[in-house]
Each structure stands twice: as structure tokens, then as C-alpha cells.
Structure 1
Amino acid sequence: MKTIAMILAGGEGTRLTVLSEARAKPAVPFAGKFRIIDFPLSNCVNSGIYTVGVLTQYRPHSLNEHIGIGKPWDLDRSRGGVRLLQPYQRRRGQQWYAGTADAIYQNMDYIWEHRADTVLILSGDHIYKMNYMPMIEYHWAVGADLTIAVMPVPIEEAHRFGIMQTDDEQRIIQFYEKPKERDKGNLASMGIYVFNAHTLERRLSEGGPENPRIDFGKDVIPAMIAEGDRVFAYRYEGYWVDVGTVDSYWATNLDLLKPEPALDLYTDKWPIHTKSEERPAAKFGPQSKVVSSMISNGCVIRGLVVNSVLSPGVYVSPGAVVKDSVVMNDTWIGPGARLEKVVVDKQVMIGAGAVVGTGDESVPNEQMPDKLYTGISVIGKGAYIPDGAQIGRNVLINSNRDEKDFPADGIVADGKTI
């Protein structure tokens, strides 16, 4: 049996606010030196799947540059390998991907080109290590048309996922896409599907103007269950996180700092590969102190860093304090500045004596109360925070903001947006 993997990596990721404004969500940096897309790509290679299509659409440039020809993942191959699949105009009018299922349907030619019997469909924005082969073997053993990887989630989080109910044989009998009611259960789809290739094409081609087959969760899976296809659940018991919100992104990064994290990046058993930049080793000055943190290559630390994750090239000046924060590439933190519970994008400058993350955590962001409400402040790429500024909690600083965009007194109250 020939298996091909298709990674859906074209989403905007609006819940990550400014972090995914100029890049697709799977291209967002994670755990210092990685990108989110590195996890499903590495899972494919570690599982022995070497033909991978990556479907991009929204702001693909950063993702394209990162993946390139796939060399870090051993996917630079003359047969198979990785291919970036972007929407394009055809004579018959196909254009932008309208949804997850439509994206796959527009690339069925790629699937048939590789003579695949089995299609593994993945989301490009989840953090986990998983061997896909046992799931694929289970799919064929039970004679399924579609197998969905599932795991229980907290009931209060169920509204973010596709929720399903199964019978005693693990056959799915009901599927609810992001239900608002809490009585549907908490068995959630992980966004990992194994399809028979012919069944996949047949079901995707059946939609019409009245019932388009645009999205797997909303359209395809409920239709397959209703029409009697053999749709099974594959229960996964390992570590898996959807880092689609600022809160989950921040918390998942900081979870890596625990003495024994659930996700172990320091093992040769199931390595996560990435495109690494050539930078010198991290450097620690005479006044520096680092506690329970991840410091990437190229960083220069002359201040205090506590329980934080720093990507390559971050500079922490003498007297500066970085606490409970995620700081991305080439950010400069000035003398005496203080960051607490902040997510900082690339190439940001924090002025001398500026304080970011001070105030009342219970005041949500005025413009995005559903996205910034747990006390985390976010600073967009290329922003400049003025010397001595006082930035509150749940504050959003958009990309490329500079001194003229801030109040004259430099005070940004809790829940404000610049």
C-alpha cells in the first residue's frame, strides 16, 4: 500500500492575533528554534512517509522559505519528497481554496501522480509526536473508508473541536463540528484523517452548489456518516496540543521548561527536524542569570531571564528582566527593561526602562476580548517600545509600531491596542 501525506498549512490563524498577521500559522516560531510545521513534517519522516504535499495559501512566503526543498527533513528526493501546493487559476475556473476539503480536491492530480492507495491528511498547526503507521494499519485492518484520530479534551474546550460519538466497535455514529452544547461529549477530532484514496475523491466530487464539499468537519465527515460509509475513530493517548490561541501558544512553550515536560525535545528517539540558522553559541555576560529557560543559539544574555523561551539572536541588556515570556528572533531588550507574561514577535526593540506586562490580568483586550483575556500581552514584529513605557496586561501592540504611535506619557493601560 502506498501512503501519501497532505499537510493543510494555509490557515490564517486569526486567534493568534498579530503573530500570524504576516505569516501562515504553521510558520510561527515555537520552542525557540523550531516552527510549528516542523512537527507534522518530522512525524511523517519518522513514520517512514516520504511523499508529502504541503498545501499553502495565506501569507505563504515565510513557510515556503522555511521548507524550501525539504533537505532538513530528508525530503529533498527525486521520487516523492516534499512539494508546496499553492492554489492557482485554471481554465475551468478553480481558484482560492475554499476550505480544507476543497484544498485537497484541487490537488487530487498530485495524489494520483504518486499512485497513492492511502491519503494521510494532517493539520500543519499542532504540536505533537506521533507514529502514523499504527493508525494506518488500524485503518486497513477494520476496513474503514475513513479513520479519524481522536482524544478526549476538557469539556469546556469541546466547542473548539469536532466532537464525535462512537459505538462499541469505535465506529463513529455522530459528528458535531464545534458544538456549542456541552452534552455532545468531549471526544475530539485531532485533525488527522486516513482516507482510502478512491473514497476520498468520490466523496469530494459529490458536492454541488446546494451542498458543497468544502470543509471536512462541516461537510464531508457528516455526509459520509449519514450515507453509511465505514468511518472509525482511532484513539490516541500521547501528547497533542492545538496551539491556535495566544494562551495555548504561550502555555505550550512554557510547559517545555518543566523538569519533566510531556513533550521531550531532548531525545534522539523521535527527533524534530528544522531548518537551522548558522549562528554562534549563546553567550552569557558577567551580570547574567538564567533560571528554568530555553536560550537559543546567537542569544546574548547580560540580564535576568526566568521561565522564558528565547529564539535565536535575542539580546538581553544589563539590568533587564525577562520573566514568563516567549521572545522571538533578533529582539533587543534594553537596559533595565522588564517583560512579564509577554509574547514578543521578531525584530522588536524594547526601550531602556520600559515595563511590559504590568497591571490587572482580569481586564480583557477591548478589541479582542475573546483572544486576549488571561493577562498575556502581545507585541507584533518590528515594533519599537519607547524608553520608559508602561505597558499593561492583555495589551496588543501591532507590527511596526514606533514611538509616535504611543501616548506622550508612554502609558498603555490594561486591555488597550496600539
Structure 2
Amino acid sequence: MAKVLSLILGGGKGTRLYPLTQSRSKPAVPFGGKFRLVDIPISNCINSGFRQIYILTQFNSASLHTHINTTYKFDNFSKGFIEILAAEQTFEHDSWYEGTADAVRKNFQHYASLEPDYYLILSGDQLYKMDLESFLDEHIKNGADVSIASTPVTRRAANDLGIVKIDETGKIIEFHEKPGPDKDISDLKIPPSQSDGSDKEYLASMGIYIFNASAMEEGLDNKDSDFGKQIIPSMISTKNVHAYTYKGYWEDIGKISDFFDATLNLATPVPQFNLYDEENPIYTKQRDLPPSKINSCTINSSLATEGSIITDSYISNSVIGIRTIIDSGATLDGVYCMGADRYETLAEKEENRRRGIPNIGIGSGSIIKGAIIDKDVRIGSACRIGVDKMDRKDGSYENYHIIDGIIVIPKKTVIPDGTII
């Protein structure tokens, strides 16, 4: 049986998801009301039978470490593990990870002793479900040194992705990183024999790779720092590099609007990403929370995760995260509310009243539209957020941000009673 070591990259700053990444790494951003983005690649690995997993971390990683350590534990007999490899200084190097390839290279000392046959490289911030075992089977069948999971995309989507050119057998013969809108890339189109005739005429790298162990060691025997920009293009001329075409749903959570749209899509009647697949579940931390309590509400095309208490409210096209408290008369339309890390006690609520600040949650009579509300936010009563016609320009403001036209309220922010945004 082939021995596969999975390496999930969780290191970058995630600046395009700021302020959600202000105090956490991108893979640790809460998704779907109860998950973290990193749960997606981990679950894909587990569901495919790949249970030797390292998470490579660097930036704002404390909450990610806590989540991994309190969530994933294998039994003593499976030989499986999920371990964190944080950036560290050694006698050989004293710098931070300088890119995806550099992160893998600097950790060889930790996993070389496992002697894997194959390395599976995954990103910690993408949304998809893939049978990674089938990916490995095709890699072996093709006799490939390196295989790149690739998905068909339109010309417009190709602007910001790595585009691969393949021959009739699926072998990659060119790789172009983020060609942009002005460059003529018509010669990179999928061969007619491989095309499905749709407007998705190009193959984009998903940033998911399988390397033979020897190819990995040889490919990283240099100072190049990035797989997509340097390592992969240089190996195409010297190694057998194949594309594995994946035609299922895949979303690279690159910016706030991508994250917002993917989250709210979960609440549609037929979501693109299926959370209800019993054969391929998404794993996350078991919290042992009570069921959500819904008191005299109207709820339409929405998700309400466990531990929430929603009273006499109207909720539409929204995702309500764990332990969310929504008071009487509130209205949410197109909102992702991440919830809270704990419940406030009666004594704490009395102290809030004395200090004149709202409780954690959404106050009575508040109306919110088109917003992301991070964890432990306090929104007072009779607030109007994203509702009134007004000139809302993208930018950072006193206690909120507007990004891609979406109002983002950062973690632990206090929004006083009657605030209009």
C-alpha cells in the first residue's frame, strides 16, 4: 500500500480576508457557522484514507493550533496523526517561511524519517470535496513524477490563477501563473479531445499537488520559494508532470466577497457545497452544545447552528453561527453571523447594563443586511446596518469595514444602541 504524507499549508497573512484575519490565520477563519476553513482539506484527507497529516503554520497561528489540538485525535492503532509544524529557527536556517515550497523544504527534517512514497500538498483555505485516493491512483497510472489537481475555468477566472497547458494525454507542457486580463493565452486552451464544449476553456491549478518522494526532494534542492511560480514551471521540462482534471465545485477563498458568497450559498435549497453528505462529512470540533432555540421566528433559506437562541426575529438568506443570541424584533437578510465563543452569565449581563454596553449578540429591533459579523460582537438595540440608502464606500471606519460592498464587523466590536451604518 502506497504511503502518503499530506502537508497542509496554512501559513500566509491572508491580507485579502482582513479583518477576518486580524487575529487569526486564514485557515482558522470560521466557516459555515461551525467549521473552520482548515477542516475542509483535513476532512478530504481523512475521507480518502490519508491519515498522516502535517499542518505547516506561521502567521497568527495560535487559534489554528488550538483548533487542531482540541479537534483531531486518532486512536493508537491507526498510525494516523495530525501534527502542527510551526515555523522555527534552527542551526540550518533562521528565517520565516518565504513561500509554499520554502515551508515544505524547511521541514524535511521532521518527516523524512517517515519515508513516504508520495507527498500530497494541499492549501488550508479552499472549499471543495475531492476523492484524493482517485487523484493518487491516476498519478500512479500515468507514471507521473508530479501531478497537479486542475479545474476547468473561464477566461475571466483565469486572470488570477495558475493556468496549465496540457497535451492530448493530460501531460502538462506549459504553466503560466496569473496571466491577467490583457495577455493572449488562447494557445493554452484545453485540447478539443479533453474539452466538454463549455465556456470553461482553460485548466487552472488548484494548488493541490502529488509528488513522488524522489521528485519532491529533487525539486526542492534549490532556493526557490514557491511551488506555483518557480518549482512547478521548472520541473515541467525535466519531469513527467500531469494534470488531474477535477470538475466538481471548487472555490479558492481569496477575498471577502468569495468568502461571503460561498458562505451564504450554503443556505440555498441546493447549495454548491454539500454539508449533508454522510459518505464524506466535514469534521470539526465537538462542542456538546444544546440545540438551537427558535422562539416565534420567520426563517427562510438560512442555517442556524447549535447553541443559538433566536427570538421573534426575521432571518433570510443568512448563516447563524454557534451560540448566537438574537433578541426580539431583529431582522437579518444576507448576513453571516459567526456567533460567540461562550455564553455570558446573568452577572455579566447585569455588568453590561451598568456599563451601558450591549450583550454579546444582536439586540432587539436591529436590522442588518449584507454583512459579516465576526465572533463575540455586541450589537445594540435598534441598530440599522446596511439597510438605509447611503453612500457606502469601501474602506476602514471606526468600528467596521466595507470590503467589496460588504459590511464587516470585526471580532469583539461593540456597536452601540441606535447605530446606523
> Which bin holds the TM-score, normalised by the shorter protein?
0.7 to 0.9
Partner amino acid, structure 1, of 2:414: Y
Secondary structure class of the residue paired with 2:41: helix
**Equivalences for residues 201-212 of structure 1 within 5 A:** 201-205=217-221, 207=222, 212=223
Deviations 1:89-114 (A, max 9, x none): 11122431110000000111233221
CA 1:56–1:45: 2 relative to 1, 3 Å: same
Report if aligned partners of 1:348, 1:380 keep a CA contact under 8 Å in 2. yes
CA 1:339–1:154: 2 relative to 1, 3 Å: farther
Match in the other structure for 1:217 = 228
Match in the other structure for 1:403 = none
Report if aligned partners of 2:5, 2:119 keep a CA contact under 8 Å in 1. yes
**Equivalences for residues 11-410 of structure 1 within 5 A:** 11-68=12-69, 71=72, 74=74, 79-180=79-180, 181-184=182-185, 186-205=202-221, 207=222, 212-225=223-236, 227-286=237-296, 288-302=297-311, 303-330=313-340, 331-358=360-387, 364-366=393-395, 374-391=404-421
Question: Comparing 371-380 with 229-238, which one deviates more in the overlay?
Answer: 371-380
Deviations 1:211-267 (A, max 9, x none): x31000111011112x32111111001111112211111111111112122221112
Question: Comparing 275-284 with 216-225, which one deviates more in the overlay?
Answer: 275-284
Residue 201 of structure 1 deviates from its aligned partner by: 1.0
Partner amino acid, structure 2, of 1:375: G
Q: Aligned equivalents of 2:305 and 2:212: distance in 1?
A: 42
| TM-score (norm. length: structure 2) | 0.86
Residue 80 of structure 1 deviates from its aligned partner by: 3.6
Secondary structure class of the residue paired with 2:216: helix
Percent identity of paired positions between Structure 1 and Structure 2: 39
CA 1:361–1:158: 2 relative to 1, 3 Å: farther
Deviations 1:290-349 (A, max 9, x none): 111100111110121111001101111111111111001225101111110100100001
Secondary structure class of the residue paired with 2:19: helix
Partner amino acid, structure 2, of 1:23: R
Structure 1 gaps of 5+ residues are: 392-418
| TM-score (norm. length: structure 1) | 0.87
Q: Aligned equivalents of 2:77 and 2:413: distance in 1?
A: 40
CA 1:33–1:77: 2 relative to 1, 3 Å: farther
Report if aligned partners of 2:71, 2:286 keep a CA contact under 8 Å in 1. no
CA 1:389–1:76: 2 relative to 1, 3 Å: farther
Match in the other structure for 2:197 = none
Partner amino acid, structure 1, of 2:16: R
Residue 373 of structure 1 deviates from its aligned partner by: 5.5
Structure 2 gaps of 5+ residues are: 189-201, 341-359
Q: Aligned equivalents of 2:40 and 2:14: distance in 1?
A: 17
Structure number with the bigger relative contact order (C-alpha 8 A, sep ≥ 6) is 2
Residue 193 of structure 1 deviates from its aligned partner by: 0.1
Secondary structure class of the residue paired with 1:65: helix
Report if aligned partners of 2:11, 2:56 keep a CA contact under 8 Å in 1. yes
Alignment RMSD (CA, Å): 2.0
Q: Aligned equivalents of 1:364 and 1:191: distance in 2?
A: 33
Q: Aligned equivalents of 1:276 and 1:70: distance in 2?
A: 7
Q: Aligned equivalents of 1:146 and 1:69: distance in 2?
A: 34
